[in-house]
Structure 1
Amino acid sequence: MSKEEVLLNDAIDFKQVRCVGDGGEQFGILSSKEALRIAHSKGLDLVLIAANAKPPVCKVMDYGKYCYQAEKKLKEAKKKQKQIEIKEIKLSTQIAQNDINYKIKHAREFIEEGKHVKFKVVLKGRESNDPKAGLGVLERVKDMMSDIADAQKEPKSEGRFVMWLFVPQKK
C-alpha cells in the first residue's frame, strides 16, 4: 500500500465508518468526524483500510509506525530473495584441450558455489556463417560438466556467439 493510496484523518469524508482500534477493539459504526475525534484523543491517526466495504472500515493507529513496519517487512522479504549469479566463460573454436580443462575447473568451482555458468564460444571471421564448430566445443564442455551440472535448454546462437547455460544439478 503506497502513501498516495491511503486516506488519512481529514481526507476521510464518509457519513458513517466502521471504526476499529489499533489493538483490534471495535468502536462500532460512527460518523467520520466522531472517529477522527477518537483518533485525535488517543494521539493517533485515522486510516481508511477498506473503502469498498459497507460502511467503509477505518482504523485508529500510528500511521508513521505502520509505514515503518511495512517498509521493514518489504526489506526483509528482499533480503530473503535468492539472487542468481551467472558467471560467463568465453571460449574460442580453436581452443586447446588443456585450456578447456582449465576453464572447466573454474566452472566446476562456480557450480559448486551454486552459481550458474554460461559458456560463450566466440566465432571469428567466417566461423560466424557456420556455428557448428562452436557447437562442437560446447558439446565437449557438456560432456565434461555432465556429472556436476545440467545444461539448460539447447545452445543458443546469437550473431558472433554460441552460448549454453549450465546450472547446478538438483540434489
Structure 2
Amino acid sequence: MGVVTLQKAMQIAADAGLDLVEISPNAEPPVCKILDFSRFKYDAKKRQQESKKKQKKVSLKEMKFKVNIGQGDLDVKLRKIRQFLEDGDKVKISLWFKGREIVHRDKGKELFDKIIENLGAIAKIESEAKMEGKQIVMVLSSQSIAE
C-alpha cells in the first residue's frame, strides 16, 4: 500500500476485520502489516518449535573404570565411548581407586593413555586427567564439536 498515516492504516485494518501489526519498528518509516494477529503468533510459535526440533543437545555421558579392568571389558567400554562420541555427546571418563589401589596411580595413568590412544582419531581431550578424591576424571568430546 505504500506509506500511509497511522490513522488511515488502522481504519483499513478495522474495515477488513484484521489487526495492524508492526513488523519492523526500527525502519524509517516503521513497517506494518494488516493481518490476523492470533494467526501471526501461532505461525511464529510453530516456526520456533520447528527450529528447536532441529537442534542437537549435547549431553555428558559418564563411563567408569577400575584400575584392574580386563582387556575384554576395556574393549566393550571403548566401543561404547566411541558410539557416544559419534552421536555428538561428551564423555566423562572416571577411574575409581578402591582401598589400597590408590598407591597405583601410575596404572591409572597407563589406562588413560591407552584410552586416548584408542580414541585419538575421533576424540579431543576437553579437560585433562586430574585427581578428584579417590578418582581420576577426564572429559572427551568428539572432533566435530571441538572444532
Q: 1:116 Cα shift? A: 3.9
Tell me the alpha carbon deviations over residues 90-144 of structure 1, each in whole angstroms, 9 at most, x when there is no partner: 1012323332223223333444555443321123356669855433321121122
Say whether 1:79 aligns with 2:53. Answer: yes
State the identity %.
34
Kindly tell me: are residues 158 and 58 of structure 1, through their superposed partners in 2, closer, same or farther at Cα, counting changes over 3 Å? same
Kindly tell me: are residues 61 and 142 of structure 1, through their superposed partners in 2, closer, same or farther at Cα, counting changes over 3 Å? same
- Counterpart secondary structure, 1:81: coil
Tell me the alpha carbon deviations over residues 20-73 of structure 1, each in whole angstroms, 9 at most, x when there is no partner: xxxxx32x231x333222111111101233445555443322111111111111
The RMSD of aligned alpha carbons is 3.0
Kindly tell me: are residues 64 and 152 of structure 1, through their superposed partners in 2, closer, same or farther at Cα, counting changes over 3 Å? same
User: Hey, what does 2:122 align to over in structure 1?
Assistant: 149
How many residues were matched structurally?
A: 143
Aligned residues of 2:125 and 2:139 also touching (Cα < 8 A): yes
Kindly tell me: are residues 116 and 50 of structure 1, through their superposed partners in 2, closer, same or farther at Cα, counting changes over 3 Å? closer
User: Hey, what does 1:37 align to over in structure 2?
Assistant: 11
Structure 1 residue ranges without an equivalent (≥5): 1-24
Aligned residues of 1:121 and 1:163 also touching (Cα < 8 A): yes
Amino acid of the residue matched to residue 79 of structure 2?
K
* Rounded Cα–Cα distance in structure 2 between residues aligned with 1:109 and 1:29: 60
Say whether 1:120 aligns with 2:69. Answer: no
Of 107-116 and 70-79, the range deviating more from structure 2: 107-116
* 1:89 maps to which of 63, 87, 93: 63
Structure 2 residue ranges without an equivalent (≥5): none
Aligned residues of 2:96 and 2:136 also touching (Cα < 8 A): yes
Which one scores higher on RCO, CA 8 angstroms, separation ≥ 6? 2
Kindly tell me: are residues 65 and 157 of structure 1, through their superposed partners in 2, closer, same or farther at Cα, counting changes over 3 Å? farther
Aligned residues of 2:85 and 2:123 also touching (Cα < 8 A): no
Aligned residues of 1:117 and 1:165 also touching (Cα < 8 A): yes
| Greater share of helix | 2
- TM-score normalised over the length of structure 1: 0.64
Say whether 1:163 aligns with 2:127. Answer: no
Aligned residues of 2:67 and 2:108 also touching (Cα < 8 A): yes
Kindly tell me: are residues 69 and 139 of structure 1, through their superposed partners in 2, closer, same or farther at Cα, counting changes over 3 Å? same
User: Hey, what does 2:109 align to over in structure 1?
Assistant: 135
Q: Which is greater in Rg?
A: 1
- TM-score normalised over the length of structure 2: 0.72
Kindly tell me: are residues 155 and 34 of structure 1, through their superposed partners in 2, closer, same or farther at Cα, counting changes over 3 Å? same
* Rounded Cα–Cα distance in structure 1 between residues aligned with 2:67 and 2:40: 59
